């Protein structure tokens, strides 16, 4: 099940992995352009463009697109992230040509009808309102905004009501022409597919598209982690809290180590934060750690949800657990986390859809694929000592980012948490309550 790769003369990359036992296929077009590539007055246009791609072409109406793919039992969807946009389909073997035809049609010949645009703007305005009404969702937007203050990277993907209302078909075509160029695209297909068939069909549709102008690196605003604090008092039953630090970029030194460290700290029920804070102390009903990577930066964060009374103790205890990680991590924890990450990666490769996305992202951000042997070697090279050192450089004396929504009067200030991270005088912590008293 090796991956075959072909690059067209215009720069578009085609990658396939045949899975002989499958009768279905997952395929899509991944574009190395997302919310981070928007201009000053384009906030939210990448996400709107993704929506509008399904709203009609010269050959197909919006309803026609939906009916054609569903007539054969297929699925068609798309997603926008900070640095990429993906359009993908899942179909049976015999319907791969149809899926490729629809994908090329919506990306190369969308009409951007005024009436459809007006309706889709309204849909996105509803999305913005729904996000604002969902504290455990919007808290992450505020967190990223504070982590990368006054930068494009810190803006929410959906945009604002003002910017969304301002977009026109001309603006959509301008963004499409500037960023949806062949050298920024990867067509990835996995499952019941033939590499040569995919190459022939993609060449026929995308092969004539002219390459874009090679943009200099400085055109993308470099990420500068700033840290900071966001608090919003709301009359809620619980508080949503995200505490984070600067992380590592994609496929750079300590990228995989950061993923492993996040598993040890908050990747499951056996993790340190879950066991100490939820199980032993009963200070929250949900807690997890995560590591987000971007092309030139990253975020290592902890999310927790708790009641008002527990909030005073929660944040300091989280910091204490991060500091303890810097003091030492056991080999048993490393072995367990490596096993979790290994199984997650290998299981995802058994899913055609997950594997297609994995291949596309590796080619876009690394320029090559990482085979399983190399990946397992990298995981095996991650030691307890290295992880403790990573925890020290990531947390101890670091500048944190804090975002919280809910009843926050008892929440420690950012300054108090910084002082605790620096090893100075910290807020007093109550004695842990026995489990029966939760």
Pairing of strands 13-18, 3-7: antiparallel
Q: What is the DSSP letter of 42?
A: -
303 three-class SS: strand
Concerning whether 50 is annotated as a catalytic residue, the answer is: yes
Alpha carbons 184 and 203: distance in angstroms, whole number: 16
Dihedral in degrees, nearest 10, Cα atoms 407, 410, 414, 415: 160
Cα-based distances in Å from 416 to 136, 190, 424: 24, 50, 9
Round to the nearest angstrom and report the end-to-end CA distance of the chain: 51
3-class secondary structure, 43: coil
Strands 228-233 and 401-406: parallel
Alpha-carbon Rg of the chain, whole angstroms? Answer: 23
* Active-site residue, selected from the candidate residues 4, 23, 42, 50: 50
Enter the tokens of residue 45.
């246009």
Residue 421's H or E segment, with its range, is helix 414-421
Angle between helices 114-132 and 169-179 (to 10 degrees): 80
Q: How far is C-alpha 410 from the chain's CA centre? A: 31
C-alpha 70/C-alpha 72 separation (Å) is: 5
Structure tokens at 421: 């991270």
Q: Which residue has the tokens 């384009």?
A: 42
| Catalytic residue annotation | 50
């Amino acid at each position: 099940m090796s991956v075959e790769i072909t690059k067209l003369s215009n720069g578009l990359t085609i990658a396939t992995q045949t899975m002989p036992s499958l009768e279905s296929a997952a395929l899509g077009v991944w574009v190395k352009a997302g919310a981070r590539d928007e201009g000053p007055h384009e906030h939210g246009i990448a996400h709107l463009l993704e929506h509008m791609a399904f709203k009609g072409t010269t050959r197909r109406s919006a309803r026609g697109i939906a009916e054609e793919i569903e007539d054969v039992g297929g699925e068609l969807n798309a997603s926008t992230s900070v640095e990429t946009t993906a359009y993908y389909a899942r179909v049976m073997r015999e319907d791969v040509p149809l899926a490729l035809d629809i994908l090329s049609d919506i990306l190369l010949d969308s009409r951007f009808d005024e009436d459809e645009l007006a309706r889709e703007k309204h849909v996105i305005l509803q999305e913005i309102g729904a996000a604002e009404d969902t504290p455990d969702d919007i808290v992450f937007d505020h967190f990223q905004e504070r982590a990368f203050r006054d930068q494009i990277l810190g803006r929410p993907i959906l945009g604002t009501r003002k910017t969304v209302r301002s977009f026109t078909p001309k603006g959509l075509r301008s963004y499409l022409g500037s960023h949806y160029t062949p050298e920024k695209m990867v067509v990835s297909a996995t499952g019941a597919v033939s590499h040569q068939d995919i190459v022939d069909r993609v060449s026929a549709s995308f092969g004539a598209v002219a390459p874009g102008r090679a943009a200099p690196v400085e055109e993308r605003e470099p990420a500068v982690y700033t840290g900071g604090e966001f608090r919003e008092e709301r009359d809620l039953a619980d508080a949503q809290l995200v505490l984070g630090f600067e992380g590592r970029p994609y496929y750079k030194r300590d990228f995989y180590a950061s993923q492993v460290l996040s598993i040890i700290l908050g990747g499951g029920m056996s993790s340190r934060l879950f066991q100490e804070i939820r199980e032993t102390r009963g200070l929250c009903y949900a807690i997890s750690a995560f590591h987000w990577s971007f092309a030139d930066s990253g975020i290592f964060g902890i999310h927790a949800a708790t009641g008002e009374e527990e909030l005073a103790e929660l944040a300091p205890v989280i910091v204490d657990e991060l500091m303890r990680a810097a003091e030492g991590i056991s080999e048993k924890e490393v072995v367990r986390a490596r096993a979790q990450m290994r199984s997650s990666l290998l299981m995802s490769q058994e899913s055609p859809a997950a594997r297609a996305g994995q291949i596309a992202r590796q080619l876009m951000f690394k320029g090559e694929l990482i085979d399983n042997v190399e990946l397992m070697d990298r995981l095996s090279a991650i030691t307890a000592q290295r992880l403790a050192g990573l925890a020290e450089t990531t947390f101890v004396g670091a500048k944190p980012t804090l975002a919280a929504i809910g009843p926050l009067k008892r929440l420690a200030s950012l300054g108090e948490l910084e002082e605790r991270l620096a090893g100075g005088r910290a807020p007093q912590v109550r004695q842990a309550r026995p489990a029966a008293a939760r």
